[in-house]
């Protein structure tokens, strides 16, 4: 088993990762977001990729999700934890909370969202009933329990197109649909990982209450402050999860 972490906003690098090397991979789909860092976390070898590039400058709708997933597969990765900043919709999902979603709804559009498009020998439909790997999720949840890190152990992640934040009406609709969290990068990453038969789970870190859940505008200052706290907990959770991994 080789584990990879894809870090999102607020997690462009992991200071505790001992970097052993880096790999650049060219793919038939173009360039990944950044070089893949090969490193050790909690004494376990893993690969880290900055989803938005390093420095953080690729917006959610411009990320080459296919190149990122293809590159990880080329490097022998078998499981991926995607870390993502989100807005909180559900009552339990306040700022700095960490959640391990078990379902998702995709509201994004216009993204290259499949490997199964051209030159096919047959049409392929992946099963996506459980969009996140149940066994990888369980490992993260157990790690959180052992390390006494407070998490929400389930929730529905809604993926919007961005880069703008949502309107009050959009968040009301998402709440009606059953979304607990709203982010911009969860898809097509999860589906592409499934197409490549990679186990994939998401750690969501709440940066702000989603639009209209509390009064007032959402500010970048607020997002940065909450992410600072939330990502420190997410890193602790990643370290605890790495301890459980085999390599
Ligand atoms: N909406 C969508 N994505 C986000 C948000 C939000 O409120 N906060 C952080 N990422």
- Between the CA of 149 and the centroid of ligand 1 the distance, in Å, is 22
Contacts (Cβ under 8 Å, ≥6 apart) of 121 = none
- Between the CA of 75 and the centroid of ligand 1 the distance, in Å, is 31
Torsion of CA 183, 185, 188, 191, to 10 degrees: -80
Q: Whose CA is nearest to atom 6 of ligand 1?
A: 87
- Between the CA of 124 and the centroid of ligand 1 the distance, in Å, is 32
**Ligand 1, from 101, 107, 184, 226: best to mutate by most atoms within 8 Å of Cβ?**
184
| Residue 132 token pair | 């996140």
- Residue 179 Cβ < 6 Å to ligand 1: no
- Between the CA of 70 and the centroid of ligand 1 the distance, in Å, is 26
Mean pLDDT of 27-33: 96
173, pLDDT greater than 90: yes
Determine which of 6-20, 62-76, 171-185 has the lowest per-residue pLDDT on average.
6-20
Can you give the pLDDT at residue 90? 98
Q: Using CA atoms, how far apart are residues 95 and 218, in angstroms rounded to an integer? A: 12
Mean pLDDT of 72-78: 97
Is 103 exposed, middle or buried (CB count within 10 Å of its CB: 0-12, 13-18, 19+)? Answer: middle
**Ligand 1, from 106, 163, 207, 225: best to mutate by most atoms within 8 Å of Cβ?**
207
Helix (H, G, I), strand (E, B) or coil at 218: coil
Determine which of 12-21, 94-103, 149-158 has the lowest per-residue pLDDT on average.
12-21
What is the pLDDT confidence band of residue 247, given thresholds at 50, 70 and 90?
low
- Residue 87 Cβ < 6 Å to ligand 1: yes
Can you give the pLDDT at residue 55? 86
Mean pLDDT of 205-226: 96
Contacts (Cβ under 8 Å, ≥6 apart) of 11 = 50, 83, 231, 234, 235
- Between the CA of 117 and the centroid of ligand 1 the distance, in Å, is 30
- Name 202's bridge partners: 82
What is the pLDDT confidence band of residue 205, given thresholds at 50, 70 and 90?
very high
186, pLDDT greater than 80: yes
pLDDT in tens, 132-169: 999 999 999 999 999 999 999 999 999 999 999 999 99
CA 215 to chain centre: 27
245, pLDDT greater than 80: no
Question: Which CATH homologous superfamily contains domain 3-112+128-244?
Answer: Nucleoside phosphorylase domain (3.40.50.1580)
| Average of per-residue pLDDT values in the chain | 95
Can you give the pLDDT at residue 136? 97
Contacts (Cβ under 8 Å, ≥6 apart) of 239 = 16, 41, 42, 147
Q: Using CA atoms, how far apart are residues 32 and 187, in angstroms rounded to an integer? A: 16
Can you give the pLDDT at residue 218? 96
- Per the CB < 8 A criterion, the answer to whether 69 and 189 are in contact is yes
pLDDT in tens, 31-54: 999 999 999 999 999 999 999 998
174, pLDDT greater than 70: yes
122, pLDDT greater than 90: no
């Amino acid at each position: 088993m080789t584990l990879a972490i894809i870090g999102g906003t607020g997690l462009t690098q992991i200071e505790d990762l001992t970097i052993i090397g880096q790999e650049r991979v060219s793919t038939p789909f173009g360039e990944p977001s950044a070089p893949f860092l090969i490193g050790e976390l909690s004494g376990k070898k893993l690969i880290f990729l900055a989803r938005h590039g390093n420095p953080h400058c690729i917006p959610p709708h411009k990320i080459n999700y296919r190149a990122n997933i293809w590159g990880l597969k080329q490097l022998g990765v078998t499981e991926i934890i995607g870390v993502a900043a989100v807005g909180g919709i559900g009552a339990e999902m306040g700022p700095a909370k960490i959640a391990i979603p078990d379902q998702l709804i995709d509201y994004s559009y216009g993204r290259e969202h499949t490997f199964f498009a051209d030159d096919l020998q047959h049409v392929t439909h992946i099963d996506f009933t459980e969009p996140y790997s149940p066994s990888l999720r369980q490992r993260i949840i157990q790690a959180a329990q052992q390390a006494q890190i407070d998490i929400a152990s389930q929730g529905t992640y809604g993926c919007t197109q961005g880069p703008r934040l949502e309107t009050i009406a959009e968040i009301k609709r998402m709440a009606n649909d059953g979304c607990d969290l709203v982010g911009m990068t969860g898809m097509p990453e999860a589906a592409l990982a499934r197409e490549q038969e990679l186990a994939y789970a998401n750690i969501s870190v709440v940066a702000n209450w989603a639009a209209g859940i509390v009064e007032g505008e959402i500010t970048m200052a607020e997002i940065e402050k909450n992410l600072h706290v939330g990502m420190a907990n997410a890193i602790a959770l990643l370290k605890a999860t790495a301890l459980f991994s085999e390599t």
